[in-house]
Structure 1
């Protein structure tokens, strides 16, 4: 489908209003069609993220694993290969993105998961980090805090000194700009590490 065909189709669907790209009204979802994720396309995606902070449905003729990571960094909520981008799928992707969800083909999802596994293995793990930005030691302390243990109990459980536990908590809250221990536990829960 061409960009014009996509616009025409979406504008004909109930619940969707297509507005010109230069219109300054709030936009719920941005749809971008491109051949590849070039530097220019990436720049456009970053500009959309910075100015509108709206989710993006990206339709590409060619994609690579690295393209998917760049797309995620640029607030892309849905990536559709052009050959599979039927009107119904585009409409579904637009509504999914508008509702805060994401949409990827199973092969693209597999590629994205492989890429994140590689980042964890090659970049984060060698530095003792997790995708959440927490070290295994910090995760252990936060897990025990979430169970209601105090500093002394955590130190006993992990065979640390109380001072080491306090340093871990202070390091996490300071580095991640968290207000206090409950905020640190809530962060770890949201990140899915405890």
Structure 2
């Protein structure tokens, strides 16, 4: 298995050197910098306080996955993190937020490995904040416009459910009282919006998102 590539963004040389020493101890992690840093699978951000400028900086760090440019997976090590920024941080690729005062080699390495595999670690306070922000988004924006938290409209969920059940396009069209072209457009819209590969991938996405 190839090592996970990691880049470090630190406010000063001391923090950079300490993080580099921790991460270099694991042969399944490979530190990259310079031009290679932009293609790292995981970025470790070390800062005293996370501010909007930090998240904007992360938004510019994108790697190509499944044909689309996606935010890099990020592990944040910080002293202060405003819970109100939790959802925005997640949107910018943040997978873990670790308290700098409690950081250790084992904790940092474990968090980087988890982030590289797509897993997340957020303190309980930030988990609660994220759930509250998601619920507010659902109630105030998504549901009034016919969307779920998965980003799927009711009609899209219906179509994907019938695809998952093995129905053909003409059968779905007949059940929904619409044309086959409309069914194809619904599926195409989901596939394009989420950077998916085909119908099966779209069904898998809906299942993982809890929509099916």
Alignment-derived partner of residue 115 in structure 1: 133
Match of 1:91 among 109, 121, 125: 109
Matches within 5 A, 1:107-146: 107-146=125-164
Gap change, CA 1:29 and 1:131, over 3 Å in 2: same
- Asked whether the equivalents of residues 49 and 74 of structure 1 are also in contact (C-alpha less than 8 Å), the reply is no
Deviation at 1:167, TM superposition (A): 6.5
Separation in 2 of the partners of 1:44 and 1:151? 44
Matches within 5 A, 1:29-68: 29-49=42-62, 54-68=72-86
Alignment pair present for 1:6 and 2:19: yes
Give me the TM-score of the superposition, normalised by structure 1. 0.74
- Asked whether the equivalents of residues 68 and 112 of structure 1 are also in contact (C-alpha less than 8 Å), the reply is yes
Give me the TM-score of the superposition, normalised by structure 2. 0.69
The answer for unaligned runs of 5 or more in structure 2 is 1-13, 65-69
Choose between structure 1 and 2: higher strand proportion.
2
The answer for unaligned runs of 5 or more in structure 1 is none
Cα shift readout 1:40-83 (whole Å, capped 9, x = no counterpart) = 21222122226995422111222233422222222222221323
Deviation at 1:113, TM superposition (A): 2.5
Separation in 2 of the partners of 1:46 and 1:39? 11
Alignment pair present for 1:172 and 2:190: no
- Asked whether the equivalents of residues 10 and 91 of structure 1 are also in contact (C-alpha less than 8 Å), the reply is yes
Gap change, CA 1:18 and 1:166, over 3 Å in 2: closer
Larger Rg: 1
Superposition RMSD in Å: 3.3
Alignment-derived partner of residue 4 in structure 2: none
Alignment pair present for 1:22 and 2:34: yes
How many residues end up aligned between the 2 structures?
A: 185
